[in-house]
């Protein structure tokens, strides 16, 4: 069964304290691995798509990487405005429209 697992469930960081979030997937025929950010009461906001092992993408203080079995979201020198829930999701070869989401990592950055 396709599964996406994120760890840790929650992460509390001091401002400037870099860290990484993990997304492991057991999805057969992965067509793309997506990262989203979600603020309370809002819908998920698209961050990155990764397609193949070794691929990396960056946006401001965020960098996403992909291996054959997992993806990492690195947050470098985070600021309080980076506080959010970060979701990863896989899309498989048997469905163009269906994203399999993990439960997310809730990140809180304190000043």
Binding site for another protein (CB under 8 A): 4, 31-32, 34, 36, 41-46, 49, 51, 87, 89, 91, 95-104
Q: Which is nearer to another protein, 42 or 69 (CB)?
A: 42
| 41/54 with CB nearer another protein | 41
Vertex 7 angle, CA 20 and 96, to 5°: 95
Distance in Å, CB of 106 to another protein, minimum: 9
| Residue 79 CA to its chain's centroid (Å) | 17
Shortest reach from residue 9's CB to another protein, in Å: 8
Q: Please state, in angstroms and rounded to a whole number, the distance separating the CA atoms of residues 81 and 74.
A: 15
Give min distance, CB of 75 to another protein, in A: 19
Q: Which CB sits closer to another protein, 18 or 59?
A: 59
* Alpha helices in 2-92, H assignment, sequence order: none
- Nearer residue to another protein within complex by CB, 54 or 111: 54
């Amino acid at each position: 069964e396709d599964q996406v697992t994120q760890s840790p469930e929650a992460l509390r960081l001091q401002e400037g304290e870099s860290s990484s979030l993990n997304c492991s997937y057991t999805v057969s025929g992965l067509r793309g691995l997506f990262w989203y950010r979600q603020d309370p009461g809002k819908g998920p906001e698209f961050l990155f798509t990764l397609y193949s092992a070794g691929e990396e993408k960056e946006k401001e203080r965020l960098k996403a990487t992909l291996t054959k079995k997992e993806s990492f979201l690195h947050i470098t020198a985070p600021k309080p405005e980076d506080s959010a829930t970060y979701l990863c999701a896989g899309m498989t070869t048997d469905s163009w429209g269906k994203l399999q989401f993990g439960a997310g990592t809730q990140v809180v950055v304190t000043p």
